[in-house]
A and B are shown apart, each in its own frame.
Chain A
Amino acid sequence: MMNKIAKTAIRLVALFVLMMAWSTLAQAQATRTWVSGVGDDANPCSRTAPCKTFAGAISKTAPSGEISVLDPGGYGAVTITKAITINGYGFISSIVAAGTNGIIVNAGVNDEIILKNISIQGIGTGLDGIRFLAGNQLTVENVQISGFAGDGIEASLAGSGKMYIKDTNITNCGGAGIKISSTAGFPTTTLDNVRLEGLGNGLEVGAGSNFVTAQRSTFVNSGNGVVATGPATINIENSTIAFNNTGVNASGAFSTIRIFSNGIYNNGTGINIAGGATVQSDGSNRVSGNGSSQTPNGTLTKQ
């Protein structure tokens, strides 16, 4: 009797080991992985056996690979530590991140990360929508971010890095829509067709020598539309800056904001320039209906 039980036990253990080996094989990293609202993180994240969360899929996705979304669903917060693309396709798949950060990007110096076609919702208690802490390049395309107590996107790099934000809407965050607080190197940020509305500040650039260009974007917020708090350089073209407490605020000494062809309407203060700061213009901005506004103190060279 005892012998029989022992034999059964050994067989069971052998079977278990075999199953483990299989599952390890099945979980080899794939270039393209899939998540689904009805998936399971125990799956290999294949198209026919998708995973349930981005966090579950990322460990099964090869560097420079892509996590694709199969159907609508909530796929959870995720930390990214390698080159990867997360693509929600047309499903506007969402990350709900109450009390936490939506996506943390803390990758290698050469890693390129792409986030597209996703929505990131903080339910009012989320910290930041996207935190960019390290990596060569972060691309954010067609992403909707709202409901964070902190910032929609915060780049806080310790060295140079590039951020591209395009066709993206950020609203209803307590902090800034996009905050750049990188402390070293020469990080650059490019915004195109970005809506920053209903936020504490729209675009806030502080800390180190950060360089930002923005075009075709909208800034409507309770604090500042665009504010440079450190020795930053911000270039804003063909954008709309309205209904903010302050529209364009060069509040940091040594900060420079260049403005070209923007509509700056009905802000408490249209343009504010602190001592030592510069706002450069070529005379193409419409500045009207503001409670008050300072005159640009620098000329934008046109040749």
Chain B
Amino acid sequence: MSRAIILASIMAVSLLMLACGEAQTAPGAHTWISANGDDANPCSSKSPCKTFAVTLSKTPAGGEISVLEPGDFGAISLTKPITFNGKGTTLYVAAGSNGLSVNAGVNDVVTIKNLTLTGTGGVNGIQFLAGNQLTIESVTISGFTGNGLDVELGKNGQGGKLLVKDSSVANCGKNGFKMTASAGFATATFDNVKLAGSVNGIEIGAGNTYTLVNRSSITSHTGSGVLTAAAPAVVNVENSIIGFNGTGVNASAAGSTIRLSGNGIYHNGEGLKLATGATIASDGTNRIEGNGASQSPNAAIKRQ
């Protein structure tokens, strides 16, 4: 009789421990991915998953996927509100693929941070096709054949917001950053970003596209540092260095506007270049020296 009670107690305690263990490893809002993981796992920090697709499916909207150990996680397509935290790891992106693509819902906010994307034949570093907001923090992108940051908004009639900070984009076959919006309003904000060594640093194309650049460096592009390629694109650049580019600041489309304040525009083949009908506005605080040639700003920024 007493043995039965003891046995029953042991079983009860064991069950309780099992239940606690389950509770601890159940997938949470914060999931983990690792080269040594297994997609049968709950994607916890103790039992991480192996591929991005499975980890995403086990992560609730608004949650965060963190990299525990570096690896190749398969195609990374962010299709819902999620944070992808690389924790400092590097992803190598092979020919024909994009590093990460963001194709999320109209209200979705996606964050990508602490990640290095190295193109080994890869097309675009990060492609932003749909979503309310994409935040990129502490991300390094280099060596892609296309654009480092490729933003093509307008799906479902919606624009979107891109926020890039403390990041760098270098040595891409086309542009460091390219943005178009076939519908809606698209805004991009760059703060403390290094753009170097691609064809163009920033190319803003068709649609209602507004870009703000502050405290950044845009150097050594064979084409233009900052290029507006279609109307009515607007780019505001403040407190940045634009140097060693084929053309520093190039308002190449009639009806496009580039505003400049507090920038150093040095040693470009051509400092400022203006197409007929385009606007480069300045408040007279830009240092424009050592360029092969340079046109003058044709508008004033109002100071109050």
Residues of A with Cβ closer than 8 Å to B?
A: 37-38, 72-74, 91-92, 94, 96, 98, 119, 121-125, 144, 146-147, 169, 171-172, 195, 197-198, 216, 218, 220, 238, 240, 242-243, 263, 265-266, 271, 281, 283-289, 293, 295-296
A38-B45, A295-B304 known; A169 vs B28 contact (CB < 8 Å) = no
A172-B109, A266-B210 known; A144 vs B137 contact (CB < 8 Å) = yes
Does B187 reach chain A (CB closer than 8 Å)?
yes
Whole-angstrom distance between the Cβ of A183 and the nearest chain B Cβ: 32
6 A–B contact pairs at CB < 8 A?
A72-B45, A92-B114, A98-B62, A125-B62, A144-B113, A240-B214
CB-based contact A289/B212 at 8 Å: no
CB-based contact B62/A198 at 8 Å: no
CB < 8 Å A-B pair total: 143
B303 partner residues in chain A, CB cutoff 8 A: 283-287
Does B29 reach chain A (CB closer than 8 Å)?
yes
Does B81 reach chain A (CB closer than 8 Å)?
yes
Measured CA separation A94–B215 after assembly (Å)? 28
B281 partner residues in chain A, CB cutoff 8 A: 288
Residue of A nearest to B64 (CB): A121
Does B116 reach chain A (CB closer than 8 Å)?
no
The 8 A CB mask of B23-64 against A (1 = contact, 0 = none) is 000001110000000000000011000000000000011111
A286 partner residues in chain B, CB cutoff 8 A: 238, 259, 261, 283, 301-303
Residue of A nearest to B299 (CB): A288
CB-based contact A289/B111 at 8 Å: no
A92-B85, A263-B236 known; A287 vs B304 contact (CB < 8 Å) = yes
B174 partner residues in chain A, CB cutoff 8 A: none
Residue of B nearest to A36 (CB): B45
Partner of B109, one of A171, A195, A218: A171
CB-based contact B64/A197 at 8 Å: no
Contacting A at CB under 8 A, from B103-144, are 109, 111, 113-114, 133, 135, 137
Measured CA separation A94–B63 after assembly (Å)? 11
CB-based contact A124/B81 at 8 Å: yes
Measured CA separation A242–B235 after assembly (Å)? 11
Partner of A296, one of B66, B114, B304: B304
| 7 nearest A-B pairs in the assembled complex, by CB-CB distance | A123-B62, A124-B62, A172-B109, A74-B30, A37-B45, A243-B187, A265-B236
B163 partner residues in chain A, CB cutoff 8 A: 171, 195, 197-198, 220
CB-based contact B304/A172 at 8 Å: no
CB-based contact A146/B165 at 8 Å: no
Measured CA separation A92–B28 after assembly (Å)? 18
Measured CA separation A115–B189 after assembly (Å)? 27
Give the interface centre of B29, B113, B215, B281 by most chain A CB atoms within 10 Å: B29
Does B83 reach chain A (CB closer than 8 Å)?
yes
Whole-angstrom distance between the Cβ of B190 and the nearest chain A Cβ: 10
Measured CA separation A37–B63 after assembly (Å)? 17
CB-based contact B257/A171 at 8 Å: no
A243-B187, A286-B259 known; A218 vs B214 contact (CB < 8 Å) = yes
Measured CA separation A125–B60 after assembly (Å)? 12
The 8 A CB mask of B59-101 against A (1 = contact, 0 = none) is 0111110101000000000000101010100000000000000
Whole-angstrom distance between the Cβ of B136 and the nearest chain A Cβ: 11
Measured CA separation A180–B277 after assembly (Å)? 46
CB-based contact B30/A94 at 8 Å: yes
A38-B45, A94-B64, A289-B259 known; A172 vs B135 contact (CB < 8 Å) = yes
Whole-angstrom distance between the Cβ of A74 and the nearest chain B Cβ: 4
A74-B28, A123-B63, A286-B261 known; A198 vs B161 contact (CB < 8 Å) = yes
6 additional A-B pairs beyond A146-B111, A240-B191, beta carbons within 8 Å, are: A72-B66, A96-B64, A121-B64, A171-B163, A172-B133, A288-B259
Does B234 reach chain A (CB closer than 8 Å)?
yes
A271 partner residues in chain B, CB cutoff 8 A: 304
Whole-angstrom distance between the Cβ of B243 and the nearest chain A Cβ: 21
Whole-angstrom distance between the Cβ of B61 and the nearest chain A Cβ: 7
A172 partner residues in chain B, CB cutoff 8 A: 109, 111, 133, 135
Whole-angstrom distance between the Cβ of A115 and the nearest chain B Cβ: 18
Residue of B nearest to A238 (CB): B239
CB-based contact A198/B133 at 8 Å: yes
A98-B29, A266-B234 known; A146 vs B83 contact (CB < 8 Å) = yes
Residue of B nearest to A285 (CB): B304
CB-based contact A96/B187 at 8 Å: no
B210 partner residues in chain A, CB cutoff 8 A: 242-243, 266
CB-based contact A243/B109 at 8 Å: no
Measured CA separation A217–B133 after assembly (Å)? 19
Residue of A nearest to B2 (CB): A5
B114 partner residues in chain A, CB cutoff 8 A: 92
A265 partner residues in chain B, CB cutoff 8 A: 212, 236, 259
Whole-angstrom distance between the Cβ of A73 and the nearest chain B Cβ: 6
Measured CA separation A266–B259 after assembly (Å)? 11
Residue of A nearest to B163 (CB): A197
Measured CA separation A266–B303 after assembly (Å)? 14
A281 partner residues in chain B, CB cutoff 8 A: 304
Whole-angstrom distance between the Cβ of B87 and the nearest chain A Cβ: 6
A243 partner residues in chain B, CB cutoff 8 A: 161, 187, 189, 210, 212
Whole-angstrom distance between the Cβ of A290 and the nearest chain B Cβ: 10
Measured CA separation A121–B109 after assembly (Å)? 13
CB-based contact B234/A289 at 8 Å: yes
